[in-house]
Amino acid sequence: MTGIEAIAELFAGPGARDYLGEAVTIGEHMRQAGALAEAAGAAAPLVAAALLHDVGHLRSETDARHGTGGARWLSQWFGAAVTEPVRLHVAAKRYLCATEPGYFALLSAESVRTLALQGGPMTAEQAAAFEALPYARDALAVRRWDDEAKDPAATPPEFDHFEALLRALLKGGPAQLLGVRDSALTAVELRTLNATALPR
């Protein structure tokens, strides 16, 4: 089974279950986040990170470990531009609760509940350390799409909409083989590269 097939299987199976008390399934939530990143014109790896940010939940990781566990699993196939925002998106919530007035009030009831399990708002020292991380800014973007992607009226694209983008971002995929810096490409540009690059 390829990495893309393994991820698709998770979306089709565990992705259909309820999302921790939210009004959407976990797969719908993740696809909404990916679609929001794509609509914002985010670079392709960031779209992938938004789509895959809760893959740890699909693999039954705990609330506190789903970012780290999901990123570790994804690192079999993807580089840091995808996996680090996934790993850090829980820390990003803790950071925003500590540094952005009004952010806590925007959280859903379930997100407030899990915040306590994830360590609560960061201390000033923890926030400073987070800000210094190379992918902190990307993790914050994923976090905001994560918070927004809980709309029961939204109809996000199915997983197969994102498959070409994910395939192009695989280690040894078209972007790497052709020497293109994938983090500078939008989702549309990377899909075009994937379709016209070396045969699979």
pLDDT at residue 193, as a whole number? 58
Query: pLDDT of 49-76, one tens digit each?
Result: 999 999 998 887 767 688 999 999 999 9
Is residue 103 within 8 A of residue 97, CB to CB? The reply is yes
Q: What band does 154 get if pLDDT is binned at 50, 70 and 90? A: very high
Please, what's the b/e burial string for 138-156 (b: 16 or more CB within 10 A of its CB; e: otherwise)? bbbbbbbbbbebbeeeeeb
pTM: 0.86
Is residue 51 within 8 A of residue 37, CB to CB? The reply is yes
pLDDT at residue 181, as a whole number? 46
- What are the chain's domains? 3-196 (1.10.3210.10)
Query: pLDDT of 84-115, one tens digit each?
Result: 999 999 999 999 999 999 999 998 888 898 89
CA trace torsion 131, 135, 136, 138 (10° rounding): 150
